[in-house]
Amino acid sequence: MIDREAPADRREELLDELVELFLAEGFLRFSVEDLARRLNCSKTTLYQVAPSKEQVILTVVRAAFRRSTDAVEAAVAATTDPVGRIAAYLDAISAELAPAGPQYYADLDTFVPAREIYRQNTRLAARRLQDLVQEAAPRSHVRPEFTGNVAALVMAAIQRGEMEAATGLDDATCFHELALLITSGIQGRTDRPSPERTPA
């Protein structure tokens, strides 16, 4: 067991291990003693991550989203085609969410502060997606403001668990399907005129 103060690199190592553990098994059922045992460290060392169990949870959840965001943006940066950037963005989100098991999502939904972190990240992701749709819009016949807002609604529904309840698909799969839907719409062509408004 490690009882001395953990240096910065040890804290990052603990964060990595905690992120992996939380994604695989959730977090609410673990006591601080359980977490220290699983990470083969003392409670004193674990408290170098944060000073309480609740703060440990929030620190780890934030770290998981921050690292996922970095990976997603790296995937977008590596893609130059505007439509491809949309697919890269949503597929990267799907890949980042794939390791998360059902207990992790259940715990996120139960623990209100963690749920709010998920909601905030979903809102930021939706705004980022709207920007990407806007960039790709000149190549398509879709209305970017409509497509972007529909995507935002779907992403919020994914976050709330409504899409999984309705379709049986997990969050990662839902994001992949959303990517297919949006990119297919943008790449498709339609010569149908916009419907005329009927005078009142």
Question: CA-CA distance, 46 to 38, in Å (whole number)?
Answer: 11
pLDDT computed for residue 188 by the predictor: 65
Q: Give the CATH number of domain 55-187; options: 1.20.1260.10, 1.10.150.20, 1.10.490.10, 1.10.357.10.
A: 1.10.357.10
The helix (run of H) or strand (run of E) holding residue 74 is helix 53-77
pLDDT computed for residue 39 by the predictor: 94
What tokens appear for 1 in the block?
A: 């067991």
pLDDT computed for residue 58 by the predictor: 97
pLDDT computed for residue 140 by the predictor: 61
Query: Can you state the angle between helices 171-187 and 144-160, rounded to 10 degrees?
Result: 170
Report yes or no: 98 and 172 within 8 Å, Cβ to Cβ: yes
pLDDT computed for residue 175 by the predictor: 86
Return the half-sphere exposure (C-beta side, CA atoms, 13 A cut-off) of residue 49. Answer: 30
What is the pTM assigned to this prediction?
0.80
Q: Residue 55's Cα: distance from chain center in Å?
A: 20
pLDDT computed for residue 64 by the predictor: 95
pLDDT computed for residue 145 by the predictor: 74
Instruction: Name the segment(s) of the chain with CATH classification 1.10.10.
Output: 15-53
pLDDT computed for residue 190 by the predictor: 44
CATH number of 15-53: 1.10.10
What tokens appear for 86 in the block?
A: 């949309």
Write out the chain's pLDDT in tens, 200 residues. Answer: 444 444 778 889 999 999 999 999 999 999 999 999 999 999 999 999 999 999 999 999 999 999 999 999 999 999 998 888 988 998 898 888 889 888 998 999 899 999 999 989 888 888 888 888 888 876 566 777 787 778 878 888 887 888 999 999 988 889 889 888 888 877 765 444 444 544 44
What tokens appear for 11 in the block?
A: 């804290």
